[in-house]
Each structure stands twice: as structure tokens, then as C-alpha cells.
Structure 1
Amino acid sequence: MLEKSSIRLPLLVVGLLFVVTTFIALTEAVDSSKFKTCNDLSFCKRNRRVDITDAAQMSLYKHQIVADSVQLKDGRLVGEIVEQDGEVDHVLSFEIRAIANGILRFRVLEKSPLANKKRYQVQDVLLDDINPFQLDVYVAGELAMSANSRGLFHFEHMRNKPLPPQPIPNPNPPEGEEPPAPQQPVVPEGMWEERFQSHHDSKPHGPMSIGMDIKFVGSQHVYGIPEHTTSLALRNTRGEGINENPYRLYNLDVFEYELDKTMALYGAVPLMISHDTKKTVALFWLNAAETFIDVSDSKDDKNVPSKDTHWISETGAMDVFFLTGPTPMEIFKQYASLTGTTALPQLFSLGYHQCRWNYKDENDVKQVDEGFDSNNIPYDVIWLDIEHTDGKRYFTWDKANFPTPDAMQKSIAIKHRKMVTIIDPHIKRDNNYYIHSQATSNNHYVKKADGVSDYEGWCWPGSSSYLDFTNPVVRNWWAEQFAYDKYIGSTPTLYVWNDMNEPSVFDGPEVSMHKDALHHGSVEHRDLHNMYGYYYHMATADGLVKRNSDQNDRPFVLSRAFFAGSQRIGAIWTGDNAAQWSHLKVANPMLLSLGLAGITFSGADVGGFFGNPDGELMARWYQAGAFQPFFRGHAHLDAKRREPWLFGEPYLSVMRSAIQQRYSFLPLWYTIFYQNTLNGAPTMRPLWVEFPSDANLFAVESEYMIGSALLVHPVVEQGQKQVKVILPGDAAKQQWFDIDTNKMYKPGQYDVDTPLQKIPVYQRGGSIVAKKERLRRSSYQMRDDPYTLKVALNTDQVATGELFMDDEHSFNYKKGQYQYRQFRYENGQLTSKSLDTKGTFKPVNTVERIVVLGINNKPSAISYADKPLQFEYDKSLSSVVIRKPDLPISSDWTINFKF
């Protein structure tokens, strides 16, 4: 297969393309000058320069595969690449191996690293049980992804900084001549140091960037690589007439971020998905350093379109996973097999959360809590921001305003509600503060570049240091701080919010940590920057598990920063958005992109964090938020109070109705999140995920699916009285039902009236959705309520749906204490059966109502166990309503329809 002579690196694609035989706007917005672009970073400019010129002429280094080194070893294709920089040959080692579930992995490292420095490889992201196995592979077949087809592979070897050459003294210089001055070496731009504004970045091992081009053959749409404020289908950054900043992945605290920008935000997941009418494939670039991605279009000599991408990272190993699909659902499974699925949330966390910066004291909390009750609005969690602490010392309370925090929490808990407090990673440098004194004495802080002094920066408490959460010892120590005898005033109903964990350093470069700061094992911050918040999130969640080990309580921790694998830990949100219609609109593509990249438990601050929304914007935002995974209202310190009842009518009624609607669909949300633990599929999905062959849907971001059952089209423009709704599918089989009116629609495009009270939501024909429709104060109070089954038939008169049930809070579902059931209507029978007979949970709930939509004829009788059931038939809606069948939700049963 490989010739016995040196092969140019572009032919490395031969090895990479094996196909496994077993699978086929505020007035003052963000100050952009404070943040870097590709042109401010030498590593990005060096790599990107190659992309716009002749690679053979402009590449700083030449690379060739050493053909004699290539061999199959333990199920891997391994070999060596020689890097020729004009003086010394540097040898790189590569391996290609097939992983279960249709994934190929390609990794490149130095064969002989420096004695004092090894190239950083990302830890703690991949699951432990990823093992290769022997597969027969071949090059033939239809091409889906092509690596290095444009010859942009780039791997800068690490080096030790040389001493400047010294002049050779001339003992007898001619009279009047000076000895020759020392000759300075020619140093490429940014090789040993770099400056940005007033900040200096030392580079003790020189340039270490990596880069490679990846072509998605036959595709015109790529998605993912969150977090950005651009469209769902990623736009081009290069091409004819296009030369804008590449997409940047570098976790940053971007205050008042702008829209439609490729600049970095709070989190980074280096996963890109390509989809066309024939296939879905993906690329996972496992690197936690600063990364840029260019996107462009190309066509081959047969006019076949492709998406070209160019991946550039400042440092780290080249560790690339090719996910071969070929369907969207297979991609989600493959990625989940690498980085895990979403942690099953407690049910309360899927309810409504009320937050602002800040509820000022215990009486304020009490009044807000009572306001929800007096206005008949359910909610589950009230939040406290940084002002609840004693001078921004986390794990403490402001004794003047929150003198009895445990009593405050218990007064909320009586109604089965929870509380969340914020705990950030910056630690106030105060020797009388026990967290700081212990961290200092235990040597738990990130170090400056000298490796000795604690790193210091400015954040909310003033002078602060930052715990080194990359160290397992520090993570364990941090987790211990959540014990009730340490976090004084905390109770079992108190949960946590991790903010500012990019990390945010107010006086640091780009409001972040210096890249040459040192972590555990003398790893530079540049190597793992995008994982800092991930490790912090991990340690906090572990602390909540440990504090409740006797109560077996699943944690809830919200994080702003994230990386690949953060879904295993908890929820995230899209950060500091604004009370503007444009920010409401951009929430759709941002959340959809997060879901595609595995971060499925996500939301955007309802109402916008900055500014003062009017009643219409608030009402529309509540309607949208009620159909997004994480549902929290939040506001800035300077924003006016905006609890729903403060807006008066008709806005109060609209917001109340939206929240109540959210609670009625909690069984669906909980079931979809459980399904994610099985298949990794996002809870909030682009239309093309459910309708993958319809090319007209590939760029649609104005509407989306909740699971496979509901289609949602939020109203996101001021004064919008009508929206165009796309109802996809084959008209011969598919039909849709308005969830408010039960009216049936065939697939097509419709102009739908949207008065203030209306958000267009449709149930898909062929689905069954379980709901709870009794109004309660919180989700816990609904736990024993009966269910309503809403059966929406397709044109074949068939529908199916699933329901997951457990105790809604503990890990006992992992021990079999759950019920996972399927409902199915077919051939005039509605059946309930267990999908997993290992489940032992026995809920007391019953089915109190069944609604069947799209039924072709009026039944002459409906019975259960030969006993007639009372029903009503509505000819105009082709619907049947069965009242009070009172069937156990956890039992097998069959209802017969006679025609």
C-alpha cells in the first residue's frame, strides 16, 4: 500500500482515509481592541500565511513520511514523519488507529521530546474505556473527509532557547578598530516572546504550533465549534472576496459581547459536524490550547462542492478523531463514546430558575418567593450572586444581609424549592480568609512563569490568586470545602453556580491568565487554557456529590466556561447577553450549536443580562426560554427589577402561561435527557437532525425540534404579528398538530399569526408525549400527579413515545430503580410496555387523560380489559379524548379502539 521510498506528506491522506469495513446591541458594546485576532498572534499568522500561498514555497518546514517506518502494530498504523527546517531533521511519530463505533484517530507527537519539556496531551476528557480493536480497512469507496489534501500540515518542534553567539576576540585588532559586535541570531516573529498591549508572553520553548487542513467532501454545510455568536451553519472565513477572522476557540470573559462575530467567547468545543444529503461526518480536534479554524468552499474537477477547513492550535499534541457517521444519530453516539453523555439532571433543575445580581437580603428573597405564589407562577430555584458573600470571600455570607442563611434556605425548602449561590475560582488574597490561607500553605495556586511565586490578578474581590484545578489534589481539597461543617450556613437544598472560570483576570491579557503561568507538572497555561473552567466545574460538582454521600444526591452546578466533556458535569449558559431582540434571536443558533457539540443542558439568560427589556421582549423571551433546555431569568446589578409580575398585564399572563407550559412538559424534557444518556443526541435539535435528507432545512435556525416530538418557532422580532413556519416531512406520511388548538397541518410553509399570547409549537404526527397538567408551586409537588398522554398520529395511524421515571434526584436509577416505558398506537390499539424490564421503580402515578389527534374515523367503542371507557369525539379536529382511564403508568396495558 505504501511505497518503499519517501512519500510526501500530502499522501498522508492515504493513511488517514481508511474506511472501516464494518461502517460506512448596547450603546457601549465590547471593546474588541482588548481581544486578540489571528493577526495579533504569530503562530496563527505563520500557519494561515501558508493557506493563501503556495504551500511548498511558504511553509517554514518541509515534512515527509519515512516510508520504511510505516507498519501495522497492535491494530494501529504507526510511522515517522521527518521535519526538515534547513539545518537539522526533527522526527515526529504518528499513529492512526480505528476505535469502536466508527471512529478513526490520528495523533502526532515528537519522537524524542526535550528532556525538560514534553508536548501537552489533553487529559480527563476522553472516557476511560476507549480501546482499539482489529479492523480491516481500505482506501476505496466514496470519499467523505480528506486530511492534508492541501498540504497545510504544520508541526513546529519544541526547542531550547540558544545562547546568543559570542564574538571571537581579535587579540591584535588594527589600530583604531573596535572588536566586532556580537552577532544576533535571526529570530522569526514571536518565536521566544510576544507582546499584546502592555502584556508580555515569554515562550521558553519557542514556537510549538500545529496545523492541518480537513476537507469535508461533498458538503456545503458545517456546524459546531462553539461558542460563537454566528449562524448555526458556519459561514466562510476565507474564499473569493472573503478574508475575515477565523473562528477562535479560547475561553474568555467577553463583557457585552457582539453578535455575528467569530471571536472567542466563554467556552470551546473543538468538534465540527458536516452534513449533506448523503452522509453526516465529524471531526474532533482534541486540543485545549488556543485554536483557530478557517472555513471556505471548494469544488473538484467534477464540480463536486466541499467545505475546506484549516485547523491551527498554538501548542499541544495533534490528536484528531474522524467520526464517520454516516447519520446524525450515529455521530452523536460516536462523540458520546469519546467524551460521554449529559449527566442526568435532577428534575428540579429543568424547572424555572429566578436570578439577578443581586437579591439584596433575606427579606428580599422572601418577598420574591412569595411573589411567585401570589401570582400563581411555579418556580424551582432562587439564586444569589456575589453580593451575598462577606466581601467576595466565597463559602461565606454577608452577616448583615444574610444573618441566617440556613433558615432562609429551609423556608424555601418547605415549599420544595432550592437555592443556588455563586462560587468563583478567584480567591481573595486575605490571610484571615481560611480558603486563601489553606491554599497558600498547601501550595494550591497556579504559579507565575518563575514556577515559584503564586500567580496574582485582579477580580471581584480585588487582589486574587487562582487555584490550580488541573491538580487532582487541589480538586479534591476544593471538593471537601462543600462539606456542611466547612461551608457554614449551607444545607442539602443549596446548589452552586461557577462563574468567571475562563478564567477571568481583570488586569490580565484579554481579561484572562498569562499564557506562561505554570500549572501542576510545570505545564504552561497556554497548553490547557480551555480546560481550566472544565476542571473547576468538575471539582465543584464532585464537592456536591461528596457532601451528600449519605443522601445520594445528584449535583447541580452551572458553569460559564466549558470544554469537550463538560456535559458529563452539569449545565452551562451563554453568558452576558443583552436585553435586545437581536440577542433573543441569536439564542437559537448558539444553543443549537452547543447541543450539536454535546453541551445539551444549556440556556440563555431570559430577558437578557444587560439592560432593561420592555414587556413585549420579556414575554417573547419567556416563551422561547420555556422551550430551551436550561430556563433561567437573570439580570445585571444595574438593571431594573424584572420579576414577571412587575410588568403588569397582558405581559404577566403571557409569562405565567409560558412558565406553566414549561412545567406541563417536564416529563418530556426529563425523558429526552435520559435518552441522551443512552445515545448522546441533543435535547434541542436543528431540523436537519430529524429530517436529514431535506437540503432546504440545512441552514434553518429560526425553528428547532425538542427531541423528535415538538417543533418550536420562537417569535424573536419586535411587533411581529406573523411568522413563516416550516413544517417538514413527507406529505404522504407526516402531519403536525398545533399544541394549543390541536389543529392538524400537512407539511409545508405557513404564515402563522402570532399575537402576544402565541408561540408556534407543533407536535409531530407519529409521536406520543406524556404531560402533567395540574398547576403546582414546584416540580417536586408534581411528582405523584397523574399523566396526560397526547397521541399524535401520522397518516398511517401510528404513533410511539417514551417516558422515563425515577425518584427525580438520586443516582439510584443507575442501580435499576427507574421505569422506562414505551407507548404505541397501532392497528386500533394503544399499548404501554416496559422498554427495560430491569427497571424496578414503581411510581404511584396514573393516566388521567388520553388525547388522540389525527384519528381517521370515530370509534364506535373504546375499552380496557373488556370494560368500556368514556370518550368524546371531535370531528372538526379528528380527535378523541378519553377521560379518567385511571391506568397505572408503570403497568403494561392495552386500550382497544373499535371502529
Structure 2
Amino acid sequence: MSFVHVCICISVLVSQSLSVNKDNFKSCDQSGFCKRQRNYEPGESTYIALLNSLKTTSTSIELQLLNKKNSVKLLLQVIGLQDNTIRVKINELSPLKLRYEIPYGEVITKQPVQQEIKVDGSSQKGVTFTVGDTTGVISAEPFRMDIFSSNEPVISLNARNLLKFEHMRVKPGWFSSIGSGLKSWFSQPFRETPQPDPPNDDHEAESDHKEGENEEGKEENEENKEDEPKDEPNMWEETYKTFTDSKPNGPTSVGMDISFPGFQFVYGIPQHADSLALKTTKNSDPYRLFNLDVFEYDIYSPMALYGSVPMMIAHNEKKTVAVFWHNAAETWVDISSNVADKTIFSKVADFVQGNNEIPQTDTHWFSESGIIDLFIMMGPRPKDVFRQYALITGTTALPPLFSIAYHQCRWNYNDEADVAAVEENMDKADIPFDVMWLDIEHTDGKRYFTWANDKFPNPKDMIGKLSSKGRKMVIIVDPHLKKDDSYDVYTDAKSKGYFVKNKDGSDYEGWCWPGTSAWPDFINPDVQQWWASKFVYDTQPGSTPDLFVWNDMNEPSVFNGPEVTFLKDLIHHGGVENRDVHNIYGLYVQKATADGLVLRSGGRDRPFVLTRAFFAGSQKYGAVWTGDNMGEWSHLKISIPMILSLNIAGITFSGADIGGFFKNPDAELQTRWYQAGSFYPFFRAHAHLDTKRREPYLLPEENMKIVRDAIRARYSLLPYLYTQFYLAEKDGRPIMQPLWVEFPEETATFGIDDNFLLGPALLVRPVTEQGATTANVYFPGSDQIWYDVQTYAQFSGGQEKNIDAPLNKIPVYQRGGTIIPRKMRIRRSATLSYQDPFTLIVCLDKQAKALGHLYADDYRSFQYKNREYIHRGLIFENNQLESKNFDRNSKYTTKEWIEKIVIAGFKKTPNKIFLKKSDGSTIELGHSFNSENKVLTIRKPDVNISEDWRITIN
């Protein structure tokens, strides 16, 4: 590396390590398409629906939309999907080139199952249709679409007339000078294999456009006037700082307003360091969705961060609905709230009931390219929305047990001796952990898939020593490959033509950690397979079954690129520009890595891959974290709504760096952060290269013991957490939940994001203020009882209380009416607890009832997909506790057993307690009763968790 190159890298790192420099990232005014779309004022719509073009099938409606201003026609498709979901697509009727659509397979796992759509009537004013219990009205002039549930409007499209679809066109004064050859080139598609939608034979037969109509449409498009002034800047070329985006296809942005009448609160569209309930953007930039590497990001900001999920949930006490904007280009979302007069629905007045005024949230979505492809999920409750979204993008894959335990990481553990010393000191302090992580310094000169032989000469032995105590190792593998003709991974990719290309067809090169680097084109399926092959044992040096992977810098981060990332006019597989696929690059990196780990084991073992960049659907491939946060109280506090936002948008396996990546948190902040982090779905400590060492055993004795207790509490809850991950894989439910998910009618919960639920049963209120010794806890549910998990003290729901929370306490409460399985024996790692017995914590509700789940398998392989698991239902009712098999087709056997049962909220001392086993035998059990806190403890039932049994309390 030259001196100049070293200076460049140091300059970038220093500028980024001080604070986020907003000048490195665009505002809306500096983005040509954002400024054009945002300046498009509500008013009379330029679009009308041509009702004489109506075509229907059993599952779809098709209409042409006409832009009255320039005569350009669009194609509107409304498709009924399973489980109360509607898909709305708007595309050019006859584009000069096929516009990019995300193919099936990664974001949308497979073609959605379609549902019957009934056209109930049409007139000169519009079309009325139903999908399941949902009614829709398409109004003709101006075009808009209103969606109703129980005769109440819940979603409106183009109600504010902000539909703006920049059609493909020829640059003014350019086409005529270069002749018909260019016209022929323009007719070529973006992708090698376009994917028409919906995939329905009847639809295809009825909706094919005649060849003459296509040609007429193309001539029309070529000759019409543009709907923007010809001299408006940034339409055909755009410069930001020293970078020029050539925009070879011209302005192609798409935008539309989506309103939520009746809803004051909307959530989602991560990733932003902001409150859970999204705020109005009237006096700020819109929320931006564009995957970027942002060091020391600002909080309470709509700035883009590392990942993007364009999914938004609207919730009120009656209903929950959601929309998913299926577009991988840079996207911005404006939000405003007002009180909407219901007379705006005059065209559909028959469906409107109630008062004249209702709360309303208006949103305005716009993307730089692609099409409008919108999924509308009609709920009607939060869990319905999560299930509906999961049917589209998939669920979080059940992770191996070790990965939901505690992870120890920093940039960087220096060498094999350092790794051994950290492990030894953790053991001396009796602090359990499951994973040791190595950052970029473990490699040979930042060449991934290599080891620094002077520091890590025997990686297999190092990993073997960890695995002897049930532990694993994770190493970083970033997507930038050092330009080095002696580096075989680089030369292999180069020889195969696998790198992302410049617009002239040459390999793109930029700067990242190794210096000059190139980036594999993960949009190409062949590149994904090639990358996956690098993780098999005979290809990846030092690899063992206990080595796993972390993908960082995969936004992608390019130190000398515009906004520290790719140029938008770079070219991917199939001639696709980066502007079309930018936000899914990181998803493909993680998917290919996970595929490699599965390939490595011959398809037997579950992978673990952590990613920084993500998109909708990334939940299928591993975990996510909130990136380069700071060791400050404000970042501890913001981590909670950030992770909640990820969870409700499907990215459930998520967390934040404990202690903050940057800076040196004091002992109090570290302690409070460990307490909070022990309830994150993903639990990892991490720190920057320049920070002081802060492994938990280095804390002052008092703090170390508190942190140790927090980590041990996490380990005791792993059976409950693992069960929640299993249930999440089945139906898409979040792991870490806002209170309104379980209490959807309780309006007091809608704005709360400092209390949360872990699964349905645990209420957690982390202490996030320096020096605080109390915390305001909101106990939801006026009919609920909540039990302190340490003392079993009872609190009534439907109220907020100020709770004592000295440094050694985090307020955590178990919900009455729930049963939580725990493992109470202290082990060095979760792997060593596989055969340990369970303790059941039963907290009774006001009716003296409780219900819980217990799921177990081998904790590491895919054999659970072959029914090798146990899913038990635990039911307490009428003074009987019973274990039932919730899945009679399961066939797994285990040595795990029940060693103790704790029943909180029991009224009086029992006389005798009997256990009836599956073989019909009955035995009397020992017990004790604490009359002060009303806790009954049943000792040593000694029944296997796979058996049916019943305990009767007399």
C-alpha cells in the first residue's frame, strides 16, 4: 500500500471515528428524484383509470391508467392473495425497456398463493371488489383506491393524488440524432428473464397485449412530452461532490401516497435510530431507506443506516394493517398526521360509518427506480399481520441454541494467546459464554478466507480448545476482496468475471479495509454458489464444524465511493444497475454465506451468520445488529426501539452491541447495558479497536457480579427463548415485542418503547438513565397480574408504577397465566446444558390458570424438519398441571427431565400432591409453600419432558 493510500484510509477512519459527518450523506434536496417527488404537491390527479380496459380473472383485476398530462399509460394489477392480503402493481404499459422487478427466491421466497377476487360491480365512476373479508373500491377519475375492513376505510392509495411514475423516455434532442439503432437497443430488457405477474394461466390468456398495441404505446412514449420541465436538473445526470451518476436510463422514479384513515400510530420501515412510533417528517427530511455505512450515527433521526425494510404497520385499538413496498432501490418515506374529514370518501360513502372526523396518517413513498409493487396486509390484529407478512418474505430460521446465548467480541482479539486468556478469565469469573469472535485483524492483510499466520498459526487447535467447553468461534468475512494477484480468492473471481462492473464493462474497484478492492456480484446466482463453495472444509483454511461467520461492510461500504458506497450506475448481472438492487446486495451476501455453511455440513447443520446490511427477507438467513453505536446512555436507550422496529418488520434475530462499539463506557453504563442486552434476541458485546478492554471480568467486583447475574439469567431463560424462536419460525411473530402486540386494544401502550415484552410472557423495563435507581414500569392489561421474576411480588395491570431499580436490579415481570421453562444449573456454555433438567415457572392469572409451551430438539441440526423435536403444551387449570403433546407426529427422544415446578399466585397450602405418569403409575411429590409470597414449590417430579403427565394438587 502506498503512502497516499495509507493517508486516504487514515483520513476516512479519523473523520468517521469522531462523529457522523452528515455532509457525507445526501439530504432529500441533494437527491434529484427525492426532490422532484417531494415537490409534487397534492392536488388534482393527472391519472385516471380507463374502465373500458378492465380485464378480470378469478384472482386479479387489470386496468390501464392514463396520465392526462402526457398520455402515457400505466398498467394497474390488483391481485388477491391468501390470508387477507392484496397485491397492487403499477408498471408502464409499454416501457422502452423492461423495468427491474425483484425476482422470486430471496426477498419473496416463492410466488404468493393467490386467492379469489370478486368484482362486485362497476360503473362509470369505478370498480368495487372483495378479497375475503376485505372490500376495495377503484375510483376512475381521479384514480384512487380505497380499502375497507368492516365497512370502515383503513388504507387509501393516491387519495392525495401524489402518484408520480416517471416513464422511460429518450433524452430530449438525442434520439433523432442517432437513429433507429439506438431505438432497437432501448427495446432490450433489463433482465435476461423477465417475470410477468401474476403467474396465472387465465390471467396471461386474458391480459396479453397485442403486438400492435405495444408498438403503438412505444411510439406514444417516444413522442410525448415529458412530465417534467426539460431543463430541470438531475434528471439525466447527477453530481454529488466529486461523483457523477450518469443515469443512462434517465429519470425513472416512482412514487405514491398511502393513507391510513383511522390510524394515529404507524411503525416499522427500519433501520433508523428513532422512536418506535414513527414521527411526522413535516419539518425534516423523509425517512430514508438506503443501505449505508454510517459511523457513530445520530439518534432520533430519519437518516438511512445499514439496512432497509420498506414495511409499515398501522395500528389502532380496532385494527392492525400493514403495507410492504417491494422495491430494492433507494426509497424515501414522508409521514404526516391530521384529522381527516370522512367526506373525502364521498365516492364510496356507502362504506363509511361513524363520526365525520377520524385521525389519519398520510405517508408518501418514492423510490428511484423499479415499479410500484405493494402488498397490503389486512390483519385485523397484530399477529395476523406478522403471519401475513411472513407468508410473503419468510420467517426467521430457527437458530442453533448457542447463537442465542452470550457472544464475546471486540475488534480485535490479538492472537491465539489472547483468545485463550479471555476464555480462561471468563471461566475464572464463572461467567458463561458460548462464542468468541475475531474481527478483520485475524486475516492475512485483510484477505478474507485466510489467517494471519504469525498471530493465528493453529486455528483448528484454537477452535478445538473452545469447542472442548461447548464453545464456538465466529470470524468476519467481508465482501470486498483485496486486489492482489497472489490472493487466490481474488484471482479466481476475476478469472470468472464475477466482479461488479463499471458502466464501461471493466471491473469496479474501490477502497475498503485491504486497500484497493473488488466486489463479487452477488446478484448473480453463479457468484452466490461460488461464494458458498469457499466455506467448505477443504477450501476454507482452519474451518471446523464450530466455526461460523460474520458479514460486515456489506451495504456495501466503499471508503472512496459516493456516500461511502457503490456508484449507482455500476452494472450487475443481467445488465441491472446498482440503483435498482442496492438495498438487496447485503441480503445476497448473507444468503450465500449461510448457504456455504449448510453446504459445508452436507445439509445437516444449521448455520449462524450475522449481517450488518439487510433487506426484507434477510430474517431467513441469520441475525442482524444495529451497527456502530456509541458507548453512551442515549445509545443504550435508543437500542430498544431500534430492535423493536426490526422485530415487527420480520427481522426478529437482532440486537445491539453491548456497551456500544465506540467510546469507553463507565462501569455503571456497562452494567445497565448488560442487563438490557440479556433480553435482546441477539446478545453480543463488541468494542472498537481503540477502546479500552472491557470484558465483563474487568469490571469492578460489584459490577462484575451484577453482570454475571444478568448473563446467567439469560442462560436460564434459553429454553423459553428457544421456544419463542421455534414459534416465530412457524408464524412470523416477533421475539421482542412492543406492548401493543399482546394488548392491541390498550391505547396507553401505543407510544411506549422503553418497556417491551420478550415473547408473550416477560415484561422488561431496562434502566437507561445514568444514576437512576427507580424506573417507571407500565403494566399492561387491566385484567392481568404481573409477577416480579425475583420476588414473585404481584402487580396489577393497566397502570404505571415507579419501581425501585437499584444497580443490581432490572425490572422484569412474568405475566400471570403463563408458564416459562427454565434451566437453572450454571454451565460454562449453553452447549453443555443440552441434557440438563428443566424448572417450570407457573404464574397464575386471576382465574388460577396458566398456559405455556416447551420446545426441544437437538439444538443444532435440521433434523427438527424431519419431526425430530418435542413440542409440549403445559396447562394449569383446576389445580392440575398437565403436559400434553402439541404435535403427535413428532418423534424425538431426549434425556431432559423436570426437576422442579414453581407455582406463583397459589392461594393456600396444599395437603398432598400426586403425579400421574404416562404409564399410569401415581406417586406423591414433596413440596413447600411460602405463605408470604404465595409460592408453591414442587420438588423432583423427575418426569421426562417428552412424556404425558399430570400433577394434581389436593
Instruction: Using structure 2 for the length normalisation, give the TM-score.
Output: 0.87
- Counterpart contact for 1:43–1:209, Cα < 8 Å: yes
Aligned residue type for 1:876: E
TM-aligned CA deviation for residue 868 of structure 1: 1.7
Q: 2:339 aligns with which of 299, 309, 312?
A: 299
TM-aligned CA deviation for residue 161 of structure 1: 2.8
Q: 1:622 aligns with which of 655, 674, 684?
A: 674
Q: 2:307 aligns with which of 261, 267, 277?
A: 267
1:40 pairs with 2:30:
yes
Aligned residue type for 2:93: K
Please list the CA deviations of residues 646-693 of structure 1 after superposition, one character each: whole Å capped at 9, or x if unmatched: 112111101111110000000001000000011110000000101111
1:541 pairs with 2:541:
no
Return the alpha-carbon distance in structure 1 between the equivalents of residues 55 and 491 of structure 2.
55
TM-aligned CA deviation for residue 162 of structure 1: 4.4
Moved more, 129-138 or 432-441: 129-138
Match of 1:581 in 2: 633
Query: Relative to structure 1, is the Cα distance of residues 373 and 159 closer, same or farther in structure 2, using a 3 angstrom cutoff?
Result: same
SS of structure 2 residue aligned to 1:295: strand
Q: 2:642 aligns with which of 571, 587, 590?
A: 590
Return the alpha-carbon distance in structure 2 between the equivalents of residues 384 and 166 of structure 1.
59
- Correspondences of 1:339-354 after superposition (within 5 Å): 339-354=393-408
Q: 1:126 aligns with which of 75, 90, 108?
A: 108
Match of 1:676 in 2: 728
- Counterpart contact for 1:122–1:528, Cα < 8 Å: no
SS of structure 2 residue aligned to 1:773: coil
1:892 pairs with 2:948:
yes
Q: 1:153 aligns with which of 163, 166, 182?
A: 163
Please list the CA deviations of residues 786-820 of structure 1 after superposition, one character each: whole Å capped at 9, or x if unmatched: 10000000010000000110000000000000000
Q: Please, what is the CA RMSD of the aligned residues?
A: 1.5
Please list the CA deviations of residues 319-364 of structure 1 after superposition, one character each: whole Å capped at 9, or x if unmatched: 0011000000000000000000001000000110000000000000
Match of 1:369 in 2: 423
Return the alpha-carbon distance in structure 1 between the equivalents of residues 645 and 809 of structure 2.
26
Q: 1:647 aligns with which of 696, 699, 704?
A: 699
Q: 1:750 aligns with which of 798, 801, 814?
A: 801
Return the alpha-carbon distance in structure 2 between the equivalents of residues 683 and 763 of structure 1.
15
Match of 1:666 in 2: 718
- Correspondences of 1:54-73 after superposition (within 5 Å): 54-56=42-44, 62-73=46-57
1:870 pairs with 2:899:
no
Please list the CA deviations of residues 292-318 of structure 1 after superposition, one character each: whole Å capped at 9, or x if unmatched: 001111222222111110001111111
Match of 2:11 in 1: none
Q: 1:143 aligns with which of 153, 170, 188?
A: 153
Unaligned 5+ segments in structure 1 are 1-24, 168-184
Aligned residue type for 2:318: K
- Counterpart contact for 2:81–2:112, Cα < 8 Å: yes
- Counterpart contact for 2:329–2:368, Cα < 8 Å: yes
- Counterpart contact for 1:272–1:282, Cα < 8 Å: yes
Return the alpha-carbon distance in structure 2 between the equivalents of residues 828 and 320 of structure 1.
50
Unaligned 5+ segments in structure 2 are 1-14, 119-129, 137-147, 178-228, 342-355, 917-921
Return the alpha-carbon distance in structure 2 between the equivalents of residues 614 and 27 of structure 1.
19
Query: Relative to structure 1, is the Cα distance of residues 289 and 27 closer, same or farther in structure 2, using a 3 angstrom cutoff?
Result: closer
Query: Relative to structure 1, is the Cα distance of residues 491 and 121 closer, same or farther in structure 2, using a 3 angstrom cutoff?
Result: closer
Return the alpha-carbon distance in structure 1 between the equivalents of residues 113 and 942 of structure 2.
49
Please list the CA deviations of residues 520-565 of structure 1 after superposition, one character each: whole Å capped at 9, or x if unmatched: 0000000010000000110000000001116x11000000000000
Return the alpha-carbon distance in structure 2 between the equivalents of residues 546 and 165 of structure 1.
50
Aligned residue type for 2:297: Y
1:113 pairs with 2:95:
yes
Return the alpha-carbon distance in structure 1 between the equivalents of residues 43 and 510 of structure 2.
42
Match of 2:251 in 1: 207
Match of 2:475 in 1: 421
- Correspondences of 1:485-564 after superposition (within 5 Å): 485-549=538-602, 552-564=604-616
- Counterpart contact for 2:408–2:435, Cα < 8 Å: yes
Once superposed, which parts of structure 1, at least 4 consecutive aligned residues long, lie more than 3 Å away?
25-28, 117-123, 162-167
Match of 1:379 in 2: 433
TM-aligned CA deviation for residue 122 of structure 1: 5.0
TM-aligned CA deviation for residue 833 of structure 1: 0.6
SS of structure 2 residue aligned to 1:55: coil
Match of 1:21 in 2: none
SS of structure 2 residue aligned to 1:817: coil
Q: 1:703 aligns with which of 732, 742, 755?
A: 755
- Counterpart contact for 1:160–1:204, Cα < 8 Å: no
Moved more, 767-776 or 405-414: 405-414
Return the alpha-carbon distance in structure 2 between the equivalents of residues 803 and 681 of structure 1.
17
SS of structure 2 residue aligned to 1:300: strand
Moved more, 68-77 or 576-585: 68-77
Return the alpha-carbon distance in structure 2 between the equivalents of residues 611 and 110 of structure 1.
51
- Counterpart contact for 1:352–1:659, Cα < 8 Å: yes
- Counterpart contact for 1:109–1:119, Cα < 8 Å: no
Please list the CA deviations of residues 804-857 of structure 1 after superposition, one character each: whole Å capped at 9, or x if unmatched: 100000000000000000101001110001100111111111111000001122
Aligned residue type for 1:72: T
Q: 2:511 aligns with which of 444, 454, 458?
A: 458
Query: Relative to structure 1, is the Cα distance of residues 696 and 582 closer, same or farther in structure 2, using a 3 angstrom cutoff?
Result: same
Please list the CA deviations of residues 567-586 of structure 1 after superposition, one character each: whole Å capped at 9, or x if unmatched: 00000000000000000000
SS of structure 2 residue aligned to 1:872: strand
Return the alpha-carbon distance in structure 2 between the equivalents of residues 347 and 636 of structure 1.
27
Query: Relative to structure 1, is the Cα distance of residues 525 and 26 closer, same or farther in structure 2, using a 3 angstrom cutoff?
Result: closer
Match of 1:198 in 2: 242
Return the alpha-carbon distance in structure 2 between the equivalents of residues 394 and 815 of structure 1.
35
Return the alpha-carbon distance in structure 2 between the equivalents of residues 828 and 522 of structure 1.
68
- Counterpart contact for 1:501–1:533, Cα < 8 Å: yes
Return the alpha-carbon distance in structure 2 between the equivalents of residues 431 and 559 of structure 1.
28
Return the alpha-carbon distance in structure 1 between the equivalents of residues 637 and 768 of structure 2.
5
1:787 pairs with 2:838:
yes
Match of 2:142 in 1: none
Q: 1:233 aligns with which of 246, 271, 277?
A: 277
Return the alpha-carbon distance in structure 1 between the equivalents of residues 901 and 711 of structure 2.
23
Moved more, 703-712 or 119-128: 119-128
- Counterpart contact for 2:17–2:296, Cα < 8 Å: no
Match of 1:837 in 2: 888
SS of structure 2 residue aligned to 1:667: helix
Residues paired across the two proteins, number: 840
Return the alpha-carbon distance in structure 2 between the equivalents of residues 166 and 546 of structure 1.
54
Moved more, 296-305 or 691-700: 296-305
1:218 pairs with 2:270:
no
TM-aligned CA deviation for residue 205 of structure 1: 1.1
Aligned residue type for 2:847: D
Q: 2:67 aligns with which of 76, 83, 100?
A: 83
- Counterpart contact for 2:252–2:368, Cα < 8 Å: yes
Query: Relative to structure 1, is the Cα distance of residues 407 and 812 closer, same or farther in structure 2, using a 3 angstrom cutoff?
Result: same
- Counterpart contact for 1:458–1:464, Cα < 8 Å: yes
1:824 pairs with 2:875:
yes
- Counterpart contact for 2:261–2:340, Cα < 8 Å: no
SS of structure 1 residue aligned to 2:357: coil
Aligned residue type for 2:676: A
Aligned residue type for 1:43: F
Match of 1:7 in 2: none
Moved more, 621-630 or 882-891: 882-891
